[in-house]
Amino acid sequence: MWFGVISIMTEMIATASRTGVFGRAIEQGILSLELFDPRSHTTDRHQTVDDRPYGGGPGMVMMTEPLLATMAEARTRAAAQGIEAPVIYLSPQGARLDQKMVKEFAEMPGLTLLCGRYEGIDERVVERVDRMVSVGDYVLSGGELPALVVMDAIARHLPGTLGNSASAVEESHLDGLLDYPHYTRPETAGARQVPEVLTSGDHAAIRRWRLKQALRSTWLARPDLLTARVLEPLERELLSELFAEGLAAEVD
Ligand code: 4FV
C-alpha cells in the first residue's frame, strides 16, 4: 500500500514512521510512504503557505495554491506507480474513523492524507478532496497526528505487518468488541492470581473466556457497540451467562 502525506511538518511523520509496527511495515516493503511539503510549492522567499482569513477573525488559513499544487504532485507520484490514491483531508468535520473504515481503506492500493494546520485550509481546497475523516470530536493543532493514527490503524490490517498472522486473525474475530484482559508473568501479583483458565493450556476454553471477557467489558463500557453488532450464537450464549452471573465478577 502507498501512502502520500501532505504536511508542512513532514518531520513529525518521518520521525513516527521510523518506529513500531508502522516503521517495520515500511522496512519490510509492505507499505511505502512519500511526504509532500506545500512549502516546496511557494514562490516567495518566506515560503508562505498561510494568510489571514477573509472576514477577519483569529488565526491563519492555509492558502489554496500551495495545497492544490502539492495535491497535483502527489497524484502524479501515485500515478507514476500505477496507483489511484484518493485524497483524505483530516478534519473534525470529517466522517468519524472506525474499524470498518480502517478495513475499507486497507483494501485500497493507496491514500493521500492531507494535513491542515492553523485554523484550517481554504474551502476551495476542501471542495477538491475526495473524503474528510475525523479521529474524534476535539480540536488538534494539526492533521499530522490524525494522519499517523489512520496509517497505523491501516498498517495493522496489511498482511505480514503484525508479527504472527494469528494476532491479525484474532484481532478480526473480536472486531467491534473491546479487548479482553491481558496477563503476563508473574502468575501472582499483589495477591492477584492470573485467571486459572489462562494457565490451563485448554485453548478452546481460553478463546471462550476471552470472548466472554470482551463481551463483558464491551457491555459495561460501550453497550452501543453491542447493540450495533449481529451477535453469533456463542456470543448470545455467553452474554446470557454474564447476565445470569450478574456481570459483576470477572468470570474464571
Ligand atoms: C482533526 C481531528 C483536527 C483542526 C484545525 C487541525 C485540526 C487544525 N483532524 N480529526 N479531530 N484537526 O482536530 O482529524 O488545522
> Do residues 53 and 77 touch, judged by C-beta distance below 8 A?
no
SS (H, E, C) the chain: CEEEEECCCHHHHHHHCCCHHHHHHHHCCCCEEEEECHHHHCCCCCCCCEECCCCCCCCCEECHHHHHHHHHHHHHHHHHCCCCCCEEEEEEEEEECCHHHHHHHHCCCEEEEECCECCCECHHHHCCCCEEEECCCCCCCECHHHHHHHHHHHHCCCCCCCCCHHHHHHHHHCCCCCCCCCCCCCCEECCEECCHHHHCCCHHHHHHHHHHHHHHHHHHHCHHHHHCCCCCHHHHHHHHHHHHCCCCCCCC
pLDDT digit string, tens, across residues 120-175: 999 999 999 999 999 999 999 999 999 999 999 999 999 988 765 556 556 555 67
- Read off the pLDDT band of 246 (50, 70, 90): confident
**Residue 98 in grid coordinates:** 472506525
For a substitution probing ligand 1, which of 12, 50, 88, 91 has the most ligand atoms within 8 Å of its CB? 91
Cα(139) to centroid(ligand 1), Å: 5
pLDDT digits (tens, 9 = 90+) for 72-96: 999 999 999 999 999 999 999 999 9
- In the reported structure, the alpha carbon of residue 143 is separated from the centroid of ligand 1 by a whole-number distance in angstroms of 5
Residue located nearest, by CA, to atom 9 of ligand 1: 91
pLDDT (0 to 100) of residue 172:
57
Using CB distances shorter than 6 Å, the residues near ligand 1 are 90-92, 116-118, 120, 134-136, 138-140, 142-143, 146
pTM here? 0.90
Expressed in angstroms and rounded, the spacing between residue 208 Cα and the centre of ligand 1 is 40
Residue 163 CA, ligand 1 centroid: distance in Å: 32
Residue-wise pLDDT for 189-241, tens only, equals: 999 999 999 999 999 999 999 999 999 999 999 999 998 889 999 999 999 99
**More confidently predicted of 173 and 32:** 32
